[in-house]
């Protein structure tokens, strides 16, 4: 795209935004000629430039719109219909410009006749209306005069334009004649350049002559200036400049345009300077009487000023983000049929342009919300004794290093009862908690995800994705949002955001030997941990908490958040708790040490690390080392996901973690002990159990020869451990629910005994179906049940959907499967067959183990795995000399000749169906026998 066009696009977008705002103003004050002039001039400029750049589509629309506005200027009454039409033309122009920008300067194909016709129709009806009103016929509207005369006036050389004239357009003949009649020495330049603004200014000069300032029958806009007596025309010229600047239209020569990139670069350089200064200060701090001290102090001051200065260049008035709002409110007001006035206070409050960009959308959303369900209908308002017209007030002001933006309406306010109901319905809270909450706390529920109290969804808002998105957006830039509302009086939303994102004050802390920076904004206080003081870490079900001023503060060790440790080993005597607040969430992060606070310049992380939500960036500290900056939002969401975990999920998660680490089959695992059928206890790994439930026996239904219960909206088949045993006929029936990939089955047991943590070492392998064997658990012989037997009883194809694996005894096996379910399920099977099993959740993890030099007698791998599938895994192992002869067995739910062939091609020694456990054992035996043969 050439520079000219780019410049044009930038300018035009800017002008269009102004036109939007001005038009809305104009609609309210149709007699304000200054506003109209301004709009007219802008549209005219757009039209002119488009013609010049060869953009016929844009030109045509701009022209038609201009013509209509010309009519307003001629005194035709302004109607909402016509303003809407002009606004939609502006929208169309924006649309085309947008495409123009994307397509690198190619005007998109398309037809705007619909709009143009409509615009022309209005212009013409305006004409006729005007004619009727103007009883005397001596005022002929320009357009008609032009077209008529173009044909009738024969005295001029007849000039042909290759297209028909549009209404309001001046024929070439007219133009020619105008030139001829014009007194030669007068301002041809002005007439050409700026004809319309000149003309319009003239009209403001002569307000005495409305509605038709043009009184000569042959006059056209272009001629007004030149037809005036010379003296007057000159006076005009003299007046023009002052008139313009008083209109605020004068191009200020006190400012220059600078590319944003240049400023960004400058900002980066200053940031570097700040860092270097910090480094120097650090050095000088260590040398008491350094002669550098004084000059450095000076450098430090200058740097600070420079930093401030550059920051200023990035500052923009918040009004820029508000520019579109009047238009939006106007449209909403029409759509919702509520008169609304929008007041904007503090539009010149400045903030960093980066922040400005980021709050535009949330603000728009909030305004829409206020207009749609904040304000009542006119009738309701009158009934409530309020003025019919609703008011939305938008204000902005500075406070400390922050900017506060408030969106206030005088509408109905938030309905506490509705919010309570909704919060209960969404399971966000309980009745008991609600009782204790202050109104303000209850109101804050509107920021929860999926929360909308609007009874019905309108096109404007009420989809329940509203305020939580706003909150997220605001929090993403380190801000916060609050609501205050009084029922019947209105609501007010207050957004608090930092002035700039570039420089942050942080607290430097240490965890697991590394330092991290936590933004001060989210740090509420620091608490020192001491086991013998009141600030003592206590635990509820292993989760650490702290009593802080009669409130319970959930804690999480930083090292755990960062994945350094799996188990929480808190040094209960030597630690600090950084109390953080993110939105309404308050929690404590336990760190090993707290250093000082430091102003840092946030640098974005490389794209390789950008997916880490725990960090918002990194920076260079005074001592030259790089430090990661903790993102409080990331911590908060990690906390939230931690906290919401129910017991079983938690166990599952742990199991998951363990197996990811490389689950050693000998590690203790949680077992669920229960009784079913016989007196001896039975056990199943707890991690396989999704839930423990009790059902009223009466709820068990029989259908198609099997027992079912309705469970979470669908039917769950029940399987009895011991088919022959007596089924209860009344009371409740405990069962273990197993779920995988959306299916559930209930295993009916007689009694749930206990949950224990123990090694599962199967001592006696069983031949009985359904029992893997016996193990000593809690010093008692316990039957370990074989889920593999029961699951297909509920769904024949349970194993078809996934794959599993296993291996033989006295040898080490590496078992790779992405499904925790099958990992847990098959490990006992393989161990029962006498193998030592190491489990990996992915091929990647398996590579790592192999890289570490771990040796295995064989590998059993699932085929269908994300990222690297079993075929790829096998192929790559075969490509490595170390593993060329390692037996590898594939496990798959899909067993077809093709898949077996593919497995063979990939280098698998054998290919076993996932549910064929005897087959797997046999295959393992087989490969080992072969291997021995080869070795021998």
Partner 1 sequence: MSNYAATNNNEQLHNSSEHVQYVTVVIGGQLFGLQISQVHDVFVPEKVTRVPLAPPEVEGVLNLRGRIVTAINMRRRLHLPPLEEDQGMMAVGIEFKGESYGLVIDAVGEVLSLPVNEREENPSNLDWRWAEISGGVHRLPGQLMVILDVDKLLQSLIEPKAA
Dist CA 161 CA 512 (whole Å): 81
DSSP 531: T
Dist CA 476 CA 135 (whole Å): 64
Peptide bond preceding 211: is omega within 30 degrees of 0, i.e. cis? yes
Rg for the chain, CA atoms, rounded: 39
**CB nearer to partner 1: pick between 52 and 564:** 564
Min separation Cβ 406 and partner 1, Å: 38
Structure tokens at 461: 């808002």
Min separation Cβ 544 and partner 1, Å: 20
Structure tokens at 624: 């030259």
**CB nearer to partner 1: pick between 77 and 624:** 624
**CB nearer to partner 1: pick between 106 and 641:** 641
Min separation Cβ 846 and partner 1, Å: 11
**Cα within 13 Å of Cα(366), Cβ side:** 31
**CB nearer to partner 1: pick between 550 and 607:** 607
**CB nearer to partner 1: pick between 623 and 694:** 623
Structure tokens at 730: 């009344």
Strand 350-352, strand 615-620: pairing: unpaired
In the complex, which residues of this chain contact partner 1 (CB under 8 A)?
272, 275-276, 514, 562-564, 603, 605-609, 611-612, 614-615, 618-620, 624-628, 847-848, 851, 853, 867, 872, 875-876, 879-880
**CB nearer to partner 1: pick between 722 and 876:** 876
- Provide the phi-psi class of 662: left if phi over 0, else alpha when psi is between -120 and 50, else beta: left
Please tell me whether residue 108 adopts helix, strand or coil conformation.
Answer: coil
Min separation Cβ 353 and partner 1, Å: 20
Express the helix, strand and coil content of the chain in percent, nearest 5 each.
45, 25, 30
**CB nearer to partner 1: pick between 8 and 871:** 871
In degrees, rounded to 5, the angle at the alpha carbon of residue 64 between the alpha carbons of residues 58 and 69 is 120
Residue 57 contacts residue 107 (beta carbons within 8 Å): yes
Q: Which residues lie below 8 Å from residue 231, measured CB to CB, with a gap of 6+?
A: none
**CB nearer to partner 1: pick between 194 and 592:** 592
DSSP 918: H
Residue 524 contacts residue 580 (beta carbons within 8 Å): yes
Min separation Cβ 608 and partner 1, Å: 5
**CB nearer to partner 1: pick between 756 and 874:** 874
Dist CA 133 CA 131 (whole Å): 5
Structure tokens at 3: 């520079």
> Which CA distances in Å does 677 have to 706, 737, 752?
19, 18, 12
Dist CA 337 CA 156 (whole Å): 54
Min separation Cβ 618 and partner 1, Å: 6
Min separation Cβ 514 and partner 1, Å: 6
Min separation Cβ 272 and partner 1, Å: 5
Residue with tokens 């000159």: 234
**CB nearer to partner 1: pick between 428 and 605:** 605
Min separation Cβ 627 and partner 1, Å: 6
CB atoms within 10 A of CB 7: 12
Min separation Cβ 930 and partner 1, Å: 23
Min separation Cβ 625 and partner 1, Å: 5
**CB nearer to partner 1: pick between 606 and 769:** 606
Helices (H) and strands (E) in the chain, counts: 29, 36
- Provide the phi-psi class of 605: left if phi over 0, else alpha when psi is between -120 and 50, else beta: beta
Note the Cα 514 to chain centre separation in Å: 31
**CB nearer to partner 1: pick between 13 and 615:** 615
Structure tokens at 52: 């010049």
Burial call 358-388: b when 16+ CB within 10 Å, e when fewer:
bbbebbbbbbbbbbbbbbbebeebeeeebee
CB atoms within 10 A of CB 552: 11
Backbone angles phi, psi at 107, to 5 degrees: -70, 130
Please tell me whether residue 638 adopts helix, strand or coil conformation.
Answer: helix
DSSP 50: H
**CB nearer to partner 1: pick between 263 and 697:** 263
**CB nearer to partner 1: pick between 261 and 291:** 261
**CB nearer to partner 1: pick between 611 and 769:** 611
**Cα within 13 Å of Cα(136), Cβ side:** 7
């Amino acid at each position: 795209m050439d520079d000219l066009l780019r410049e044009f696009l930038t300018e035009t977008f800017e002008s269009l935004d102004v036109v939007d705002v001005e038009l809305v103003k104009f609609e309210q004050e149709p007699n304000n000629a200054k506003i109209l002039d301004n709009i007219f001039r802008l549209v005219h400029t757009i039209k002119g430039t488009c013609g010049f750049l060869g953009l016929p589509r844009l030109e045509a629309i701009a022209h038609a719109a201009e013509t209509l506005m010309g009519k307003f200027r001629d005194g035709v009454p302004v109607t909402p219909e016509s303003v809407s039409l002009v606004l939609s033309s502006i929208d169309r122009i924006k649309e085309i410009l947008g495409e123009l920008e994307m397509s690198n300067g190619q005007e998109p194909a398309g037809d705007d006749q619909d709009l143009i016709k409509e615009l022309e129709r209005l212009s013409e009806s305006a004409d006729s209306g005007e004619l009727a009103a103007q009883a005397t016929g001596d005022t002929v509207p320009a357009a008609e005069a032009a077209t008529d005369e173009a044909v009738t006036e024969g005295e001029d050389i007849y000039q042909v334009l290759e297209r028909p004239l549009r209404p309001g357009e001046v024929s070439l003949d007219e133009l020619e004649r105008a030139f001829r009649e014009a007194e030669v020495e007068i301002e041809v330049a002005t007439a050409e350049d700026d004809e319309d603004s000149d003309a319009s200014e003239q009209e403001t000069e002569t307000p005495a002559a409305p509605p038709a300032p043009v009184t000569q029958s042959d006059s056209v806009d272009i001629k007004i200036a030149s037809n005036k007596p010379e003296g007057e025309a000159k006076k005009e010229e003299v007046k023009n400049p002052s008139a313009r600047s008083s209109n605020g239209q004068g191009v200020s020569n006190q400012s220059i345009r600078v590319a944003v990139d240049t400023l960004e670069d400058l900002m980066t350089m200053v940031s570097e300077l700040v860092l270097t200064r910090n480094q120097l200060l650090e050095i000088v701090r260590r040398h008491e009487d350094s002669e550098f001290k004084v000059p450095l102090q000076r450098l430090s001051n200058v740097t600070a000023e420079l930093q401030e200065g550059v920051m200023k260049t990035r500052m923009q008035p918040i009004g820029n983000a508000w520019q579109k709002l009047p238009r939006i409110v106007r449209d909403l007001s029409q759509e919702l049929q509520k008169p609304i006035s929008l007041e904007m206070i503090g539009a010149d409050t400045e903030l960093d342009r980066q922040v400005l960009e980021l709050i535009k959308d949330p603000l728009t959303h909030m305004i829409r919300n206020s207009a749609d369900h904040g304000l009542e209908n006119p009738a309701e308002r009158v009934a409530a004794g309020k003025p019919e017209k609703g008011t939305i007030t938008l204000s902005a002001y500075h406070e400390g290093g922050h900017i506060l933006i408030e969106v206030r309406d005088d509408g109905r306010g938030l309905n506490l009862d509705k919010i309570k109901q909704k919060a209960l319905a969404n399971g966000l809270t309980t009745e008991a908690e609600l009782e204790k909450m202050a109104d303000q706390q209850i109101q804050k529920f509107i920021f929860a995800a999926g929360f909308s109290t609007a009874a019905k969804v309108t096109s404007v808002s009420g989809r329940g994705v509203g305020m939580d998105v706003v909150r997220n957006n605001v929090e993403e830039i380190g801000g916060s949002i609050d609501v205050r509302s009084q029922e019947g009086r209105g609501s007010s939303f207050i957004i608090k955001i930092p002035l700039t994102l570039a420089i942050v004050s942080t607290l430097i802390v240490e965890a697991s030997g590394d330092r991290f920076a936590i933004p001060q904004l989210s740090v509420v206080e620091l608490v020192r941990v001491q086991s013998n003081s009141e600030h003592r870490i206590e635990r509820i079900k292993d989760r650490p908490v702290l009593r802080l001023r009669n409130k319970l503060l959930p804690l999480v060790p930083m090292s755990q958040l960062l994945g350094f440790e799996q188990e929480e080993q808190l040094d209960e005597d030597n630690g600090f708790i950084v109390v953080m607040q993110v939105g309404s969430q308050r929690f404590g992060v336990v760190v090993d040490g707290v250093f000082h606070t430091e102003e840092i310049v946030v640098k974005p992380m490389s794209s390789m690390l950008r997916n880490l939500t725990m960090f918002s960036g990194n920076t260079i500290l005074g001592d030259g080392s790089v430090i990661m900056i903790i993102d409080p939002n990331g911590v908060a969401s990690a906390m939230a996901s931690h906290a919401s975990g129910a017991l079983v999920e938690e166990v599952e998660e742990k199991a998951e973690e363990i197996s990811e680490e490389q689950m050693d089959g000998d590690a203790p695992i949680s077992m669920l002990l229960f009784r079913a059928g016989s007196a001896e206890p039975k056990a199943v790994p707890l991690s396989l159990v999704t839930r423990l439930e009790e059902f009223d026996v009466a709820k068990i239904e029989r259908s198609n020869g099997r027992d079912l219960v309705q469970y979470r909206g669908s039917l769950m088949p029940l399987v009895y451990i011991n088919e022959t045993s007596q089924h209860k006929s009344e009371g409740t029936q405990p069962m273990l629910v197993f779920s995988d990939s959306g299916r559930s089955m209930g295993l009916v047991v007689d009694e749930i005994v206990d949950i224990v943590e123990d090694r599962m070492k199967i001592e006696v392998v069983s031949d009985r179906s359904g029992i893997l064997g016996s193990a000593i658990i809690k010093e008692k012989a316990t039957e370990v049940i074989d889920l593999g037997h029961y699951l297909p009883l509920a769904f024949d194809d349970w194993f078809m959907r996934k794959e599993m694996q296993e291996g033989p005894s006295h040898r080490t096996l590496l078992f790779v499967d992405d499904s925790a379910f099958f990992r847990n399920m098959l490990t006992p099977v393989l161990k029962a067959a006498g193998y030592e099993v190491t489990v990996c959740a992915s091929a990647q993890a398996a590579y790592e183990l192999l890289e570490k030099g771990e040796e295995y007698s064989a590998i059993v791998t699932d085929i269908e795995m994300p990222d690297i599938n079993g075929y790829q895994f096998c192929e790559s192992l075969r490509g490595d000399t170390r593993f060329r002869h390692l037996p590898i067995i594939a496990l798959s739910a899909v067993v077809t000749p093709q898949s077996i062939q593919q497995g063979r091609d990939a280098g698998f020694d054998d290919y076993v169906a996932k549910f064929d456990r005897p087959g797997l054992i046999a295959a393992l035996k087989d490969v080992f026998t072969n291997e021995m043969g080869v070795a021998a």
